[in-house]
Structure 1
């Protein structure tokens, strides 16, 4: 009897020790973050996110052509929802004219990350910004 009680307690403790990022996403709702991509600007230009918080990032392209949000170091430092992983190609998300894309993720590494649009000359015309995770 005592042995089975010890084994049962051990199993409960082991099952309850999920990684912090998993516990955070299960215990809280994803916070929506909207980013508008226009001709040569991100709005907002600087994002402030919290480590371990689940986010639903929605990119809306209101520009006259295609844009992307490229932040390879940031995306490498996040836990992206498996269903949204295909949206990321080479650390960037492409958004066609008039389209929107949504990615669910959890930042897992604190830091300051650069974002830009990698389309020809877009970053040079000011389509840059930062993502800060604390």
Structure 2
């Protein structure tokens, strides 16, 4: 159903006080955004997020094959609270580089944006990015 891809990564590359940021955030003000993956696109293909604002991104795969939500630099710029599958449980892993979703899969990513900038998101299935499956995540 789901997989997190964690390369050999150093915690120093990520937000070091993520736990404190997540704990301090007012989750009652959380904004929810849905991103749908299909052949060969993200909808929407860009997000503009406010630093310090808690978010939940609902990531859905409506395609005919598995897809990835790969954004290594973005994941280093956010304080992750958790990734949740409504059917299978939740993952509380602060360090990862990609989310893999099988056909009809859905995951909810809870986080607080921290480092301002623009970060690419793309699918790492062979040929998908070349066919346009990429977008931009901007923290302002």
Q: For structure 1, which runs of at least 5 residues remain unmatched after alignment?
A: 1-18
Match of 1:112 among 100, 114, 118: 118
Would you say 1:91 and 2:84 are equivalent positions?
no
More strand by share: 2
Corresponding position: 1:32 with 2:37: no
Bigger Rg, which one: 1
Q: TM-score of the superposition, structure 1-length normalised?
A: 0.77
Q: Which has the higher contact order (CA 8 A, sep 6+)?
A: 2
Report Cα offsets for 1:61-109 as digits up to 9, x if no partner. Answer: 00001001000000111100155444x8741111110110111000110
- Measured on the aligned residues, the alpha-carbon RMSD in Å equals 2.0
Task: Tell me the TM-score normalised to structure 2 length.
Answer: 0.74
Query: Structure 1 residue runs of 4+, over 3 Å off?
Result: 19-23, 82-86
Question: Is there any run of 5+ residues in structure 2 with no aligned partner, and where?
Answer: 1-19, 83-89
Structure with greater helix percent: 1
